[in-house]
Amino acid sequence: MNFRKLLVIPLLGCLSLAAQQKPNILWITIEDSSPQFFGCYGNQDAHTPAIDKLASEGVRFTNAFSTGTVCSPSRSTIITGVRTFKAGTGNHRSNYPVPESIKGFPYYMQQQDYYVSNNSKTDYNVANAKDFIREAWNESSGKAGWWNRKPGQPFFAIFNFNESHQSRTMTMPYVWYTENVWNQLDEDERIAEDGFEMPPIYRESSEMRKHFARVYNSISLTDKRIGELLDRLEADNLRDSTIIFFYADHGEGEPRGKTNGINYGYRVPFVVWFPEMYKHLSPWGTAGVVTDELISFEDLAPTLISMAGGEIPEHLEGRILMGKDRYETTDHLLLSADRSDNGIDMVRTITDGRYIYSRNYLPFIPQGRYIRYMYIGEIVQQMRSDYREGLLDSLQQSYFEPRPDEYLFDIENDLWETKNLVSDPEYKTVLERMRKELDENLLNARDVMFLPEYEIGLISKNTTPYEYRLNKKEYPFEEIYSAASLSGKRGQSFAEKQVKLLNSENRIVRYWAIMGLRSQPAKTLESYRQNIEKAMNDDYALVRIGAAAIAYQQWNNGQAKDILAESCRSENMDIALLTINFLMYIENKEPFIQTITAVHDLPNRSYNVKAACMDFLGSLNLVPNNYEYGE
């Protein structure tokens, strides 16, 4: 008799039993959704029974925030656990490397014998994405799920539902929405165009109601699909051993939400449901508990690794949210928004859950910036038409106009962020506190996204942005941030400082000086014409382009026109994209029509450059602004 085999059998049984003591974990992620459109968050017009039931039996978070406001930067933080402004992953659908030591967090769960599966969106915003995905997941595909694991093996499974994505709610043609959303719902699951309260940030009209009803019905269909998944979990007898997370990847996809650095873009619905056997892991309690604890996507990776029984890698700085190793709560979160598709931007935000403070570093670009994927949406076309016809109130108009350099909103009492409190003396103390917190957090993080994307591309040829930002000699962040912190601030005293910075030996400081001057009022700039026109000869391309954009807009400078036209044709896509974005927000666009048309048709142009060209031409009604011309 083989006694060795007899000993192995009970040993394997013990290992299997030990594995089963670890919770199964199901992530249900949805797209482009804000909490105020769900029943469990108080919206009585919504149809979200499956999600509402999870919330009534689980834990609902009122202060859960995405770390970005568009999908790929948000998902890069989720999968790596590293903030975009540290990893250099803040620009939408970029392709820059992260250090080899930074893995997708499911990799660490695999080391604890978890079967990890992703069904199926990735969009991780890192270089060598295929290898990164292969290492992170046992399976990542449209067929992936818990059903492919070994018997008794604990699982972590993600299911991503795109029924609430911006494509469904606004970008795809209405006839497509009718077939793929409306017709997929039963009568009692549909929300009529007069069946909800219109948010005050949008005009109250039958046309807008037609478009906005898409949000409610897309979320209703999302809820229906989630219910079907939960039924399958139940049928497989796994509900009683599975912790369920439900959340959205960032805020609502409608105008003023997605891509914008305010609460409407950041805050997400977030629910965790615990089965009886794992209720002890919840520090909040269960069965309909509501918590205002501040959490962000940075916290997800360390929490999941901890739940799996693994050690937390050094590069993860988020909090463990639950279990015996739970970290202390925080009193604020740092959030960020950068380029989305072809629309450049930079916003940094601090929130304590009651107030949200956002710093706009490029406020000459409005919230409603030209992003082709949004511009072709029927609701955006309606809003632009209403704007031209003078039908919008001052708040609604502001979407299409230059921004202030700062926002401060009381998001507890002003959910739709209708009143900017920056100039209200009653909130001076709050404003000063949050300004200081933002500065301190950015200086501590050494935010690498204060480099223009052109520089991040160059750096990435030899190292990673994550590592580069830690080199104080190569990246003198304090000096750069001192210049950048002036950008967007308007008035003579700030312009004078920015003009002096045009003489800095540091090219990035000079870049921020010219970007700051671009946001100055025309009257202020008159005093500095000579300085700005001199900067058109700067040896750094980005300074030359910025100075030319100002000189052309202000004084119709002929040399400036030539610099801008030449830069549009650059073989470097970051230079071309920056230039076209400058042209998008000048008044006299006509002299560049031929240039932009030719650039669009050049070979080897990136999607972002071609989309920006289409937006430029679309702003002049030279191409149709609809899905067929979406680039």
Query: HEC string of 47-78?
Result: CCHHHHHHHHHCEEECCEECCCCCHHHHHHHH
pLDDT score at 20? 52
From the options 1.10.287.1080, 1.10.1200.10, 1.10.1370.30, 1.25.10.10, give the CATH code of 476-629.
1.25.10.10
pLDDT score at 579? 98
* CA 451 – CA 470 distance, rounded (Å): 13
Could you tell me the residue ranges of all domains in the chain? Answer: 24-184+214-331, 476-629
Residue 1: pLDDT band (50, 70, 90) is: very low
Query: What's the average model confidence in pLDDT over 293-306?
Result: 98
pLDDT digits (tens, 9 = 90+) for 406-429: 999 999 999 999 999 999 999 999
Comparing CA positions, the residue from 312, 236, 313, 233 lying closest to residue 273 is 233
Residue 13 has pLDDT above 80, yes or no: no
Residue 308: pLDDT band (50, 70, 90) is: very high
- Asked if residue 38 lies in contact with residue 52, where contact means CB atoms within 8 angstroms, the answer is yes
Residue 8 has pLDDT above 60, yes or no: no
What does the H/E/C string look like for 406-438? Answer: EEEEECCCCCCCCCCCCCCHHHHHHHHHHHHHH
Could you give the dihedral angle defined by the CA atoms of residues 557, 563, 568 and 570, in that order, rounded to the nearest 10 degrees? 180
Residue 203 has pLDDT above 90, yes or no: yes
Query: What's the average model confidence in pLDDT over 355-384?
Result: 98
- Structure token digits, residue 422: 């920056």
pLDDT digits (tens, 9 = 90+) for 25-74: 999 999 999 999 999 999 999 999 999 999 999 999 999 999 999 999 99
The pTM for the full model equals 0.96
pLDDT digits (tens, 9 = 90+) for 545-588: 999 999 999 999 999 999 999 999 999 999 999 999 999 999 99
Residue 161 β-bridge partners:
30
Residue 10: pLDDT band (50, 70, 90) is: very low
Q: What are phi and psi of 469, to 5 degrees?
A: -65, -20
* CA 357 – CA 556 distance, rounded (Å): 37
What are the angstrom distances between the C-alpha of 360 and each of 41, 260, 477, 590? 29, 10, 18, 29
What are the angstrom distances between the C-alpha of 554 and each of 138, 533, 611? 57, 11, 26
pLDDT score at 16? 39
| Domains 24-184+214-331 and 476-629 fall in the same CATH topology | no
Residue 21: pLDDT band (50, 70, 90) is: confident
Residue 355 β-bridge partners:
410
**Mean per-residue pLDDT over the chain, rounded:** 96
User: For the chain, first and last CA: distance in Å?
Assistant: 72
The CATH code that applies to domain 24-184+214-331 is: 3.40.720.10
C-alpha Rg value of the chain to the nearest Å? 25
Residue 542 has pLDDT above 60, yes or no: yes
Comparing CA positions, the residue from 248, 267, 244 lying closest to residue 257 is 267
Residue 9 has pLDDT above 60, yes or no: no
Residue 11 has pLDDT above 50, yes or no: no
pLDDT digits (tens, 9 = 90+) for 253-270: 999 999 999 999 999 999
Place of tokens 């009257």: 523
What are the angstrom distances between the C-alpha of 630 and each of 173, 190, 259, 381, 511? 11, 29, 18, 13, 31
